[in-house]
Amino acid sequence: MSETNQNEAAELSGGKPAVSRRDFLNEITLGALGVAGLGSAALTYQYFSPNVLFEPSTTFRAGNPDLYPLDSVTFLQDQQVYIVRTDAGFYAVSAVCTHLGCITQWKPEANMIACPCHGSKFQPNGRKIEGPAPRPLPHYSINLTADGELQVDKLQIIKSDQVLKV
Amino acid sequence: MATSFHAAFESLRANRVWKSIFRSGPAITNRTRSLAVFGNLFLHWLPVKVREKSLRVRAAYYLGSLSFLLFLILVVTGVLLMFYYHPAAPNAYRDMKDLRFVVSNGVFLRNMHRVGAHVMVLLVFWHMFHVFYRGGYKPPHEFNWVVGVVLLLLTLFLSYTGYLLPWDQLAFWAVTVGTNIISAMPVIGQKVRFVALGGNIVGENALLRFYVLHVVILPLLAFLFIGVHFWRVQKDGGLTVRSKDDDGKN
């Protein structure tokens, strides 16, 4: 005989109720503790996610466009960004390797960007030549300020075929 | 001389304070020896009786005990290092340099902590291999094997969190690479990395978080699991011994 049938039988015969007082209190206590536990887990997660970060700004000015000669790749060490100027215009490529976050280096003699940590290689436009990096180097949004300087926003990643014509 | 020392010890034992601490009296019979072990917090999770075989060096090469000894050394040296170390940028790097070049005996303590950590990782792995090849994970020791795996992970996490604290290039890049591996986890990877570092980059928040993990949370967990581990060795019937050793001795 299953448990439900037993309970029903007990109820019909006017005996014990379907749920005993002890079971009811146990369940309601465990339920309350579960809800409180989930709530405190969520609160703890929120507590550990900072709302204000004292990190360097992700937007920066890269100076006057005339600073960059035609067909050049310039590494901005403080920002970890390459400013590339071609016939078509300007674009900004991340210098952070997509493999494990090391800082890549521009090798003008080989015309490529290389990572010193695990040997990934990229073209100046960020396209991957050789792994272990899984993805190409991303392009950051680049535009001109009102006073004619280049400005890069490292939070905005744009398609690699978009260039800034000056 | 020997008798006067003996007499002095006997009178100490008759002292009321001594008797209140060691209530079972002198451990001269098997019963009083057992009572002395049962009644002592620090001894009670060790076995009252052991097989002579399990005391042989080749039974375990004392690898577990040596790992524990290194853990104690790391706790003591680590607490001493904490007196000079600020977990903030740029103090952390300077404090580490101060410990090496300015503080009396600082370089000794720092290197003891650093080398001790390397040796502990080595010994914990060796202990694990030894237990594995001896079949020490088999019933009734399965649960204690799992506790041991947790202790291995805690040892590695302690090493990893401690690696950031010198706040040098090696530390920075090791943690950058390591936390980028975390972010490769599907769906929640970026969030876990953000919470682990307390930001998007390895900065001051990350240093403080790793410090708290390294000096409070992980050592407490390690103490807890070491206690369970030792206690279970006794409850599971002592060390695994073979009926015959490799050299044919019983």
* B177/A100 CB distance under 8 A: yes
* B199/A53 CB distance under 8 A: yes
Residues 6+ apart with CB under 8 A from B10: none
Choose among B230, B240, B248, B249: nearest CA to B51. B240
Amino acid A6: pLDDT: 58
**Hey, is the C-beta of A112 within 8 angstroms of any chain B C-beta?**
no
Choose among B93, B152, B179, B119: nearest CA to A100. B179
Mean pLDDT of A60-77: 86
Q: Count A/B contacts: CB-CB distance under 8 Å.
A: 29
* B200/A55 CB distance under 8 A: yes
Closest Cβ–Cβ partner in B195, B201, B204 for A49? B195
- A98 three-class SS: coil
Closest Cβ–Cβ partner in A48, A55, A117 for B195? A48
Residue with tokens 């992970």: B153
Complex ipTM: 0.71
Smallest Cα distance from A49 to chain B, Å: 5
Amino acid B51: pLDDT: 78
* Residues of chain B found within 8 Å of residue A116, distances taken between Cβ atoms: none
* Residues of chain B found within 8 Å of residue A78, distances taken between Cβ atoms: none
Is pLDDT at B183 greater than 90 in this prediction? no
Q: Higher confidence at residue A99 or residue B111?
A: B111
pLDDT exceeding 90 applies to what percent of chain A? 28
Mean pLDDT of A65-89: 87
CA distances from B94 to A54, B89, B100, B169, B196 (A): 21, 9, 10, 13, 24
| Strand blocks (E) in A11-145 | 59-63, 72-76, 81-85, 90-94, 105-107, 112-114, 121-122, 128-130, 139-144
* Residues of chain B found within 8 Å of residue A101, distances taken between Cβ atoms: 176-177, 180
List the single residue in A with minimal CA-CA distance to B201: A55
Reading the block at residue B106, the tokens are 């600082």
Q: With contact defined as beta carbons under 8 Å apart, do B240 and B134 qualify?
A: yes
**Hey, is the C-beta of B91 within 8 angstroms of any chain A C-beta?**
no
Kindly report, residue by residue over B69-86, the tens digit of the pLDDT: 999 999 999 999 999 999
**CATH C-level class of A59-158:** mainly beta
**Hey, is the C-beta of B189 within 8 angstroms of any chain A C-beta?**
no
DSSP character string of B157-185? HHHHHHHHTT-SHHHHHHHHHHHHHHTTS
- A96 three-class SS: strand
* Residues of chain A found within 8 Å of residue B180, distances taken between Cβ atoms: 100-101
Smallest Cα distance from A79 to chain B, Å: 13
User: Which amino acid is located at B173 in the chain?
Assistant: W
Is pLDDT at A82 greater than 70 in this prediction? yes
* B180/A100 CB distance under 8 A: yes
Kindly report, residue by residue over B48-57, the tens digit of the pLDDT: 777 777 777 7
Is pLDDT at B65 greater than 60 in this prediction? yes
Cα angle B3, B8, B14; round to 5: 125
**Which one of A26-35, A116-125, A149-158 scores highest in mean pLDDT?**
A26-35
What is the enclosing helix (H) or strand (E) of A151? Answer: strand A150-158
Closest Cβ–Cβ partner in A48, A55, A101 for B177? A101
* Residues of chain B found within 8 Å of residue A102, distances taken between Cβ atoms: 173, 176-177
| Strand blocks (E) in A27-97 | 59-63, 72-76, 81-85, 90-94
Other beta carbons within 10 Å of B33: 15
Is pLDDT at B9 greater than 60 in this prediction? yes
User: Which amino acid is located at A114 in the chain?
Assistant: A
Amino acid A8: pLDDT: 60
In the Cβ-directed half-sphere of B77, how many Cα atoms lie within 13 Å?
21
User: Which amino acid is located at A61 in the chain?
Assistant: R
Is pLDDT at A5 greater than 70 in this prediction? no
Q: Please tell me what DSSP assigns to residue B213.
A: I
Q: Strands A105-107, A112-114: parallel, antiparallel or unpaired by DSSP?
A: antiparallel
Domain boundaries, chain A: 3-48, 59-158
**Hey, is the C-beta of A101 within 8 angstroms of any chain B C-beta?**
yes
Quick check: pTM over 0.95?
no
Q: Please tell me the distance from the alpha carbon of residue B53 to that of residue B142, in angstroms, as a whole number.
A: 22
Q: With contact defined as beta carbons under 8 Å apart, do A98 and A80 qualify?
A: no
pLDDT exceeding 70 applies to what percent of chain B? 95
Kindly report, residue by residue over B122-168, the tens digit of the pLDDT: 999 999 999 998 888 888 889 999 999 999 999 999 999 999 999 99
Going from the N-terminus, what domains does chain B have, and what CATH number goes with each?
Answer: 10-38 (no CATH), 60-235 (1.20.810.10)
Q: Higher confidence at residue A117 or residue B69?
A: B69
Cα angle A55, A60, A65; round to 5: 160
Smallest Cα distance from B124 to chain A, Å: 28
Give the mutation candidate from B188, B205, B209, B213 for the A interface (greatest A CB count, under 10 A).
B205
Q: Please tell me the distance from the alpha carbon of residue B79 to that of residue B215, in angstroms, as a whole number.
A: 8
Closest Cβ–Cβ partner in B173, B195, B200 for A102? B173
**Hey, is the C-beta of A145 within 8 angstroms of any chain B C-beta?**
no
* A49/B194 CB distance under 8 A: yes
